[in-house]
Amino acid sequence: MQALNLSAALPEILLLIAACGVLLVDVLRDEDSSLDISWIALLAIAVPALATLSQLSEPAQRAFNGLYVSDSLGHLLKLAAYLATAVALIYGRRYAAERGMHRGELYALALFALLGQMVMISAGNLLVVYLGLELMSLSLYALAAMRRDHAISTEAAIKYFVLGALASGFLLYGMSMIYGGTGTLDLARIASSMGALSGAKATVLVFGVVFIVAGLAFKFGAVPFHMWVPDVYQGTPTLATLLIAAGPKLATFAIAFRLLAGGLIGVATDWQQMLMVLAVLSMALGNFVAITQTNLKRMLAYSTIAQVGFVLLGMLSGVVAGDAKGLADAWSGSLFYLVTYVLTTLGTFGVVMLMSQHGQEAELISDLKGLGKRNPGMAFVMLILMFSLAGIPPTVGFYAKLSVLQSTVNAGLTWLAVLAVLFSLVGAFYYLRIVKTMYFDEPVETAPIATPQGAHSLLAVNGALVLLLGLIPGPLMTVCLDAVKRAFVG
């Protein structure tokens, strides 16, 4: 029983009970009941969040005979995942109600997807990684297909399911090869066995790394494994799009850290080269193709691909000629970039959902025409978010890009940093085009855009945080650096 250490996994246990409770409450409540299931779902997120906060002062620990890891990095990513899911549900409450999605299964699936992300974040074994991945993925597939009467949504969900299953197959095949080469599924034991491998086992291990990186690239949406991202972002309901775009990126970063920087650090030179190719291709294709888009959600999808290229840039910069002393700084830069990107993404898709009223979708860039006149507050927040995505000071996106570029230059990859800056200049064009459309184009409709008070206030806080973290990035950067360093020690 001591090896189980159930207290370490208390947040996951509480969330599982809460998610099942949401399903039961939805089944047992009357049709005309005034009980709002969305508030119960938010309470279900708050309870494990409090449990995670109570663990912050505890040292890193392992549970279930090493299958589960509870450390500072896991706590930070879980708190970010709680925030991402909760904010998405608040933004999407009216959106879901107007489209017949405001039902218990929506919130239960969101909670189960969050649970899968938490399992991925704390995985200390390859089987647990896969268990969490499938729990998250299956929940997101169902969320993508929530509008069963909508042909485009159903098509996007099928594409997401098929390509997501392919990505899971890549990861599972890579894991089987790593097990064949090392004889263990435990990430700590895999790392310690690196030096003793030679001959056929070393070859099998390298092939396993190739499939692992390919599977991670699928989940990140990096080129050339990006084909699902634009179609899924455009076709799924915007609430489901936001749930797919935010939290899963945090969980994928966690397993990339556990697998690459932890278990497979002995073959860093192999996965570093693959990440370099993925980063350059993602930044190039994402930025150039986004310029041609007229659909806002599709443009944001290609923007995500380009942003993922920056995240990969930081991840590959920690190893220099086999020396991993800069690994913590580089990965903490990527972590900071990803956390702040998720914050910006929440606000961006929040604006899209709040503009999608009376059953009509605000999916085209032209739908933003005259937003500065119709809702000045929302337009100003969107301006801050676009500036942040473009990396324009004083928003947090500027400092996030700067921290990644510093890691790249410190790794001796100056040419790669210059290339990233050039691609960012290309990306600035389509972000600034959004600003121009909001403030300088005449609106098709002149009626003011009304928003729920709660969501409106949350959007204002969201925009203020993006601006405040750009002015004072130090505390969050310190937290990210400390979390990554402690995770390496643990």
In terms of Cα–Cα distance, which of 19, 15, 89 is closest to 52? 15
Dihedrals φ, ψ of 77, to 5°?
-70, -35
Percent of the chain at pLDDT exceeding 90? 58
CA 18 and chain centroid, separation: 23
CA distances (Å), origin 475, targets 219, 336, 479, 480: 29, 11, 6, 9
pLDDT band of 197, cuts 50, 70, 90: low
- In this prediction, residue 350 carries a pLDDT of 93
Lowest mean pLDDT among 77-91, 320-334, 386-400: 320-334
Give pLDDT tens digits for 224-241: 888 899 999 998 999 999
Average pLDDT of the segment spanning 374-400: 93
Does the pLDDT of residue 288 top 50, yes or no?
yes
What CA–CA distance (Å, rounded) separates 93 from 96? 5
Q: Return the structure tokens found at 258.
A: 């556990």
3-state secondary structure of 70: strand
- In this prediction, residue 1 carries a pLDDT of 45
Average pLDDT of the segment spanning 138-164: 89
Does the pLDDT of residue 147 top 90, yes or no?
no
DSSP string, 353-408: HHH--TT----BGGGGTTHHHH-HHHHHHHHHHHHHHHT-TTSHHHHHHHHHHHHH
- In this prediction, residue 183 carries a pLDDT of 86
Average pLDDT of the segment spanning 51-58: 89
- In this prediction, residue 83 carries a pLDDT of 95
Q: Return the structure tokens found at 130.
A: 């896969």
What CA–CA distance (Å, rounded) separates 426 from 286? 10
Give pLDDT tens digits for 258-280: 998 888 888 888 888 999 999 99
| Inter-residue contact 371 to 383 (CB < 8 Å) | no
- The per-residue b/e assignment along 401-428, b for 16 or more CB within 10 angstroms, e otherwise, is bebbbbbbebbebeebbebbeebbebbb
The pTM assigned to this predicted structure is 0.94
Residue 28: Cβ within 10 Å count:
10
Percent of the chain at pLDDT exceeding 70? 96
- Amino acid identity of residue 76, one-letter, is L
Q: How many CA atoms lie within 13 A of 338 on its CB side?
A: 32
pLDDT band of 100, cuts 50, 70, 90: confident
- In this prediction, residue 446 carries a pLDDT of 75
Lowest mean pLDDT among 94-108, 229-243, 452-466: 94-108
Average pLDDT of the segment spanning 29-35: 70
Average pLDDT of the segment spanning 147-161: 86
- In this prediction, residue 102 carries a pLDDT of 82
| ∠ CA 152-133-147, rounded to 5° | 20
